[in-house]
Structure 1
Amino acid sequence: MEQFLDGLGVHLGEARISTLAFFLVLILLLLGLIQYLITGPKGTTILLLGPMGAGKTTIYLQLRDGTKHNGTVTSMQVTSESCQLASEKGGRKIRPVTLVDIPGHPRMRHRFEAHTPATRGIIFVIDSAEFLSQKTDIAEQLYEVITNLAAARRKPPILLACNKSDLGAKAHTSDFIRKRIEKEVEQLRTTRRSLGEGQQGVIGIEGEVFSMAALEKAQGIKVTAESVSALDADLDDVTGFIRRCVPRR
């Protein structure tokens, strides 16, 4: 009888250990799932978007290796490379990033959608000197990006990189550009809603005038604007944005 009780105690002890081990594994799996749902899949992709001639490829080259090709580079194909930022080489401050330069031609713009699952941040490049003549085209492209992100689980931040600030008074300020874009997007939102495009027009807060602040509050998409110059290598705000987007090693 004593041997039976001793054996029973051993089996009960083993059962308790197995049960505890099972629940421990279950808890770890649940914690991993929660972390995945909060942060989304890992990725280090930074997209460069914007209309033709804004300077996306020049910024791409400056970020990648510090060159600028005299600011006259034009790209008609998607360019992608995983690299250490030129300003970070030797410092090992952040992990290598995957820079993806999407051409601004209307037939090529939609290709950004294939990269959004791994995207950490979007640099939307604008020619601040030619902004007024391009404002409608800029707003339409940005609207497409925003509505795409609004429907996605991951919502990377967007930097409006108002390029060519080296042109002085000819270049509009980042604050002016942001406010005019808000007005243009509001017009697009109203027009598309009136045409019956349904939920695609619901960005920002319904019933309120569109603003970047409302967009962040309602859809969680943060948009900031900074004046930069690819030609003068004045890209501190761009590299700072990337550092905030890409996790450290």
Structure 2
Amino acid sequence: MTVARIDARFAALKAEGRPGLVVFVTAGDPDLETSFEVIRALPAAGADVIEIGMPFTDPMADGPAIQAAGLRALANGQTLAKTLGLVRRFRETDQATPLVLMGYYNPIYSYGVPRFLTDAKAAGIDGLIVVDLPTEEDPELCLPALEQDIAFIRLATPTTDDKRLPTVLRHTSGFVYYVSINGITGSAAPDCNAVAAAVARLKRHTELPVAVGFGIRTPEQAAEIGGNADAAVVGSAVVSMIGEAAAEGLTGKPLADRISAFVATLAAGVRGAKRSAA
């Protein structure tokens, strides 16, 4: 079961008594080979779970950094098939790190849902986050994914009230992704007190791990969030650094080394978090 990798990782984190670090990068950014080098290096740098963004032309929930990353990738010919190929290459040397595809439904729909799920499972994908498919559309992708033992990870937000929350959580598996701010990715810093209260509320409704993302850019923020959640998710800060390095002309392993050094500081922050969550 592919879901087992996610479950095993969060069980190991719980046994270690520490939160995890989830790192998001966009597939094919700034080019396919460099993207592979970055993703391959993330586990050694301290990433416990890797989210791989599927580039899309209309990423409505993403801020400027991730939008730009998607455009760079698409300009270099990135496709969903190539993204799955990247995952297969990663799995040749790493069978332990959970990999989650994150993005929008359109590329999956265009690829064909049954074919996509078959290919994603064969490649080694553990979970999906599809931000524009509400629970009312679960038969489209969520339920078929669960039948293939691929986790379907839901987003909960500050506006998800107690009446809506059970519906959101009904078919959620792997972990719950709590969006710490209202707005697009990378647009503001999270309020740690508000996050602590939100995570506590979520845990009254589910036994799944809760990962918190949007707006975490520094090791200190990652540590603060990690003190109240099962994992901190960092995306825009990493993607921004990839864009800056690419603009300087870095590619391949030199770019990956720069990203790894930054991720290592985030991992150190998370590992030093003072836990206050159950």
Q: Under TM normalisation by the shorter chain, which class is it?
A: 0.3 to 0.5
TM-score (normalised: structure 2): 0.32
Q: As a proportion of its length, which structure holds more helix?
A: 1
Q: Compare relative contact order (CA 8 Å, sep 6+) and give the higher one, 1 or 2.
A: 2
TM-score (normalised: structure 1): 0.35
- Find the structure with the greater CA-based Rg: 1
